Amino acid sequence: MNHGTQDLYPTFLKVQLMLSPGEITVITIIANIGGAVCGYISQYLGRKRTIILAAVMVGAFLPLFVLPRNKISLGGAYGIVPAHLNELSPPNCRGTFPGFTYQLGVLIASCSAQIEAVLGEKFPHNGVPDYGLTQAVLTACAIFSLIVMISIGTEAKDVDFEKQLENEDYGPENRDNMTACN
């Protein structure tokens, strides 16, 4: 969802909306503030609810990728997936699991800007590549997948990492196992 809406976003703003570099910077900064806001909200609503709420909000605002022709109507917010992954990680993998899974997602999504660019050029709007439409369609697919996966998964918000380690058998004879993900 993140790559689908952000990788080609500055190009969308420049090519389709013809905004200046300064305007593009301001819009991008404002949109990224949503991550901090969602992180704060997730402390009260929980990780799953916040991720689903953020995904639904992004879905509700997807038409703004297709319809806007001015800078006033743009904005966005994203979920708290990295914290959720860290809380779900097994104690002996906590240093590796969240980073690995997050980067695996980045690897899978790394081609999204190229896919959006090619599709946008194949389906132009008024003679200009329609990057907004392709971002909206691909992001809608990502939102649906994210909501389904988060809904069926578990939540471990407020897990006490230290207590979790104490409950595991990491005595002197098992210290080597702490660094291995098994």
Per CATH, domain 2-178 is 1.20.1250.20: yes
> What pLDDT digit, counting tens, does each position of 171-182 carry?
445 545 545 555
> Between vectors from CA 112 to CA 109 and to CA 114, what angle results, nearest 5°?
140
| Per-residue tokens: 68 | 């806007």
Q: What is the pTM of this model?
A: 0.58
| Per-residue tokens: 49 | 């609810």
> Between vectors from CA 59 to CA 53 and to CA 62, what angle results, nearest 5°?
145
Are the beta carbons of 169 and 62 closer than 8 angstroms? no
> What pLDDT digit, counting tens, does each position of 115-163 carry?
888 888 888 888 888 888 888 888 888 888 888 888 887 777 776 666 6
Strand partners, 97: none
Are the beta carbons of 69 and 82 closer than 8 angstroms? no
